[in-house]
Chain A
């Protein structure tokens, strides 16, 4: 490499590397400073806090301990329970199922929209974009309403004897899944649609000409072409779904807690920051594992 003070032309500008990096560095400062101060440092502080102890009144005490992680793993003075691990595991399962169902529903929806006439295609797509941008508290609230005792769905369930008469259809696992899928479905549909719209149909026709079965047409001619959009959709769904807190809080109740609720509890009512930090680390590890499994497949992840 040339020395930093050698004169170079950089896109029409006669300058030196030193000059450029000085100016670029100056422009980087506000953004980097902000992200360092409010993103990177807080994350590091969170790691530190996860090794501290909670004082009697919820204050932090500078006593180094692994107690929080032990507790997360289920060890307490009363022996070992799987409670917290169960919540973590349940969060992974819920996120996986939510992603899977969203993908299964998104394919037909994308193909349906892509087959609309060009003039109305955009309107159909907007129908997916609107829920995507509607506040999730409102959308969860809407499910709350639909599943309440006076509504036809709950009445039907009561009539069939699934629930006692006059009871709502929440809190339970089904309500959580309904809420989760409706929350994240557009997150899969929108990126997937970008791939489906660009699909090269001549490959599909070629496969059909060669007498491929319908399954093989899909797995070998369609699926590989939609992988880019699908990967983005899966990442955008799986990771936030694992940390989801609003839906399980309103529709799941205490019996169907997910890791998001557990974290919120520690930072809210329980005032146990160290334990909350340790759980966040657990969630972070799960997130990283998810991302790694994805990267392993050699896909370029372009989130937006």
Chain B
């Protein structure tokens, strides 16, 4: 084992402290008795209890989950099919390049541009139907749009990794398209699909910009709630809410690592 130079270790520790101290601050003040200000007045869990009595927050939490779940399911299905379609058929080079660029657009452009173009697009679609009023549906559509790209990229790399020998063997044994998809491709692809879905889910929970641009008055999500709360001033309830979300993130990260490491 190599040892790292003390200076390197010192910088590394400071960097980690730089990442974690603010988060730790939030966690500490979430169990602080004081209602206003940031002076330590003793330990309490009442802010957490209050969270569960706050209808706004409960609704925002529900919206956040609903948004993440629905968009992840749709994006995972569409993204997986897209990845298979792109990878397993003899497309011409030009088609391939075009598809490739399209998939990378949401990954590389700043999300605010995607958000802006969605605002304008929904503005146009609103002329056709009123279901495109700002709200949860628009947010779901927006999330699916960037999630598809990530799911497809993850599944595609899995497709490349599993190779085509087993598919070829199945074909040689007269497997039909449907049988091949169900009994050979799907089980082999599952780790990739799950990884893609987890990525999509986390991206949805993580998103602020797309939601902020497409949300309506009744589709508050937790990040939007916190953003609005910060402008009104920091409160212990928001500390508690943020801490809970951080804990949920930790659980999600550890869980994802477990799944993806099993491969």
Contact = CB atoms under 8 A, between A and B. Distances in A.
A146 B16 CA distance: 16
Interface in A102-136: 105, 108-109, 111-115, 117, 122, 126-131, 133-136
Contacts of A260: 110, 112
Contact of B112 (A13, A145, A263): A263
Interface of A: 10-13, 17, 20-21, 23-25, 27-28, 30-32, 34-35, 38-43, 45-46, 49, 60, 105, 108-109, 111-115, 117, 122, 126-131, 133-146, 148, 150-151, 181-182, 185-186, 201, 235, 239-240, 242-246, 250, 260, 263-264, 267, 273, 276-277, 280, 283-284, 287, 291, 303-304
Nearest to A122: B257
Interface in B3-38: 3-4, 7-9, 11-12, 15-16, 18-23, 25-26, 29, 37-38
Contacts of A239: 108-110
Contacts of B157: 304
A134 to B, nearest CB: 5
B90 A38 contact: no
B23 A139 contact: yes
Determine chain B's interface SS by DSSP, over half rule.
helix
29 contacts: A13-B171, A21-B89, A30-B81, A31-B85, A38-B145, A39-B114, A43-B105, A108-B11, A111-B12, A112-B4, A113-B12, A131-B23, A137-B223, A138-B26, A138-B223, A138-B245, A138-B246, A142-B25, A142-B26, A144-B234, A145-B26, A186-B19, A240-B111, A243-B111, A250-B231, A260-B112, A277-B116, A287-B113, A303-B104
A133 B107 contact: no
B110 A109 contact: no
Interface string B217-238: 0000011001100110010001
Contacts of A303: 104, 107-108, 153
Given A23-B177, A39-B105, A46 B89 contact: no
Interface of B: 1-4, 7-9, 11-12, 15-16, 18-23, 25-26, 29, 37-39, 78-79, 81-82, 84-86, 88-91, 99, 102-121, 123-124, 141-142, 144-145, 148-150, 152-154, 157, 164, 167-172, 177, 202, 205-206, 208-209, 212-213, 222-223, 226-227, 230-231, 234, 238-239, 242, 245-246, 249-250, 252-254, 257
Given A11-B164, A39-B105, A273-B120, A137 B208 contact: yes
